[in-house]
Structure 1
Amino acid sequence: MAINEAQLTTWSSLGSVQQSAATYQTIRGVLDHKDSAYYPKLYQIFLQGSYGNDTNVWRDSDVDVVMRLTSVYYPDTSSLAPTEKANYDHARLPTDYSWALFKQEVAGWLTKNFGAGVDASGKAIYVPGSGNRRDADVLACAEHRHFITYPAIGNPSYREGIIFWKADGTQIINYPKQHSENCTTKHQNTKSYFKPTVRIFKNIRNRMIEDGRLQEGIAPSYFLEGMLYNVPTNLFGGSYQQTVINCFNHIYGLQDKSQLTCANGIHYLLRHGHSVCWPPDDHNTFMEAFKQFWNDY
């Protein structure tokens, strides 16, 4: 039987807002302090993840903060014609600063301010919570530019993202600002149904994990947002129950899911062996578990 509207309304609600906002302001204040080694460099600080996209639920803990170095960028010139690549090579200036040094300095500054519990061994720098401050993950990254054109005269055009490397040397390129902007546009176009629907799917995922129906890590929030981003706008609305049914049935019934994209509109959603894509087997596992949970509820 279907899950009733009252329960879905509860699951659609935002999780902790004030505590996460206070955590972000505290972390941001430390990151942006003039005494840090990297302060003379150019950088941007912004939220990403569930708190940044207003899709957080009560079980969410970590506040995800992006610390993006912008005085140095890493290029992708593979789309440039040979003459434009030559223009780029001529204009490119050398630099003695790097993402690796930036991450090292950010981690050192966070450790100095928040103690030995700070852990920089993962892809993000973990800052443990204390008192009312939540745990936080600070992603130290650099600007990435995928150049589309590079004329001899005038400004080049490029797609702007972030880049960082995992401990094993794997390079990660992603587009958090495009993801956030597209989710907001989708939310507006669905008469404010998109983000509450994401929270419903996340809460159901969390219940399935608690009940032993789904393994932790099979359905990250980022990919759930991406999946629902692909649902046509007209399938949202009326009621949460009908919206959830419409969204699930649309994705479940697609014969070809290969062209679905992440919410950034750039990466494919479902691919094997890509760190920025959802493994299709994990997606299928989630969908079947969701179907069973819904029917058993």
Structure 2
Amino acid sequence: MSMSATDRKALLSGWIKPSSDNEKDQQDRAERMVRDAIESSDAFEGSNYSIYTKGSYPNNTNVRQDSDVDVVVELRECFYWDYGSGVTPADPKVVTPYGGSWTPATWRKAVKSALVEHFGASGVDSSGEVAINISAVAGSRPSADVVPSFLYYRYDNTECTQSEQGSCVFPRSGGAKIVNWPHHQLDKGRSKNNATGGRYKDYVRALKNVENVLADDGVIDDLPSYFMECLVFNVPNSILKSGGSLDDDFRATLVELWRQLGDEDTETAMVEPNYMKWLFQGDKKWTLQDGKDLIQATWTYLDYAS
């Protein structure tokens, strides 16, 4: 089916729209209902913890089909740490180990128990490896993925006086911790969006929407919505906002992504939107080929070759 520039403009104009007031309300309600559940439990009395949303909702890159709100319940009195690349601590004892009773298993269990007590066993699914899901109730509450996490530091000098602060979570069945940088993602995303006059988040939402269409049609495999945010983050600001039309600059964005995905040094060049992780290194839920398939299918779907 052929698609004209006018058709694409209409499609893109709909795709780039940010969250509605109702979706913003879902984010606020999800955080509030999890906070109520945790604060009403005696298990956390006297503990130092923080509750906040992360991911596409606070970053304002969510689209209607990707509906779950990610809510972090982060223990802050117990923290984990690593050292930056090439950093060896001058004194291994400079960081004081935690001496309390919380462990990844007991923290997850306490969070789960508080959620079950508040929402009922039928409303809580703890079978996931990372998040505990609270099911939606129409007209009452949104669905939410609750992530029992710990404060995390990466020390970047031998004296451990310079660090980057993140968050880490341990899989339910065991294994290595998963480190995330939600506050870095939020800050870097806002800066890039401001520098591009809003085009960065516009095009993230557009790419997420077209991925949903392509996955629903069976053209490509379903991909994590975060992956689309990562891809667009790597497009230079000058391309995202070149002064052209919405259609022209989105086309240029796809061209640039295709170029980057085909470079020999892609795995050591493209980053996540936190500047703390490489996009295609480590254990990821996507591959380089996934990126190529997405960009090629998007190009074809929008009929840019005509």
Against the structure 1 CA distance between its residues 96 and 195, is the aligned structure 2 distance closer, same or farther, given a 3 Å change threshold?
Answer: same
Alignment equivalent of 1:209, drawn from 195, 212, 215: 215
Give 5+ residue unaligned stretches, structure 2.
none
Helix, strand or coil: the match of 2:231? helix
Alpha-carbon distance in 2 for matches of 1:230, 1:243: 15
% identity of equivalent residues: 26
Helix, strand or coil: the match of 2:303? helix
1:69-113, Cα deviation, whole Å (9 max, x unpaired): 11100121465435232433xx44533222321111111001111
Alpha-carbon distance in 1 for matches of 2:295, 2:210: 11
Deviates more, 1:226-235 or 1:237-246: 237-246
Aligned to 1:252: 258
Q: Contact 1:14–1:58 at 8 Å: present in 2 too?
A: no
Alpha-carbon distance in 2 for matches of 1:295, 1:101: 53
Aligned to 2:280: 270
- TM-score by length of structure 2 reads 0.86
Deviates more, 1:237-246 or 1:44-53: 237-246
Give 5+ residue unaligned stretches, structure 1.
none
Alpha-carbon distance in 1 for matches of 2:27, 2:164: 29
Aligned to 2:299: 291
2:280 partner letter: L
Q: Contact 2:73–2:147 at 8 Å: present in 1 too?
A: yes
Alpha-carbon distance in 1 for matches of 2:20, 2:69: 11
1:30-53, Cα deviation, whole Å (9 max, x unpaired): 245253412421111111121121
Equivalent pairs, count: 288
Asked if residue 95 in structure 1 is aligned to residue 89 in structure 2, the reply is: no
Q: 1:139 deviation in Å?
A: 0.7
Aligned to 1:185: 191
Helix, strand or coil: the match of 2:212? helix
The runs of at least 4 consecutive aligned structure 1 residues that moved more than 4 Å come to: none
CA root-mean-square deviation: 2.2
Against the structure 1 CA distance between its residues 25 and 139, is the aligned structure 2 distance closer, same or farther, given a 3 Å change threshold?
Answer: closer
Q: Contact 1:48–1:64 at 8 Å: present in 2 too?
A: yes
Alignment of 1:212-251 (within 5 A): 212-216=218-222, 219-237=223-241, 238-251=244-257
Q: Contact 1:124–1:138 at 8 Å: present in 2 too?
A: yes
Helix, strand or coil: the match of 2:124? coil
Against the structure 1 CA distance between its residues 21 and 163, is the aligned structure 2 distance closer, same or farther, given a 3 Å change threshold?
Answer: closer
Asked if residue 162 in structure 1 is aligned to residue 181 in structure 2, the reply is: no
Alpha-carbon distance in 2 for matches of 1:16, 1:104: 35
Q: Contact 1:146–1:160 at 8 Å: present in 2 too?
A: yes
Asked if residue 59 in structure 1 is aligned to residue 69 in structure 2, the reply is: no
Helix, strand or coil: the match of 2:220? coil
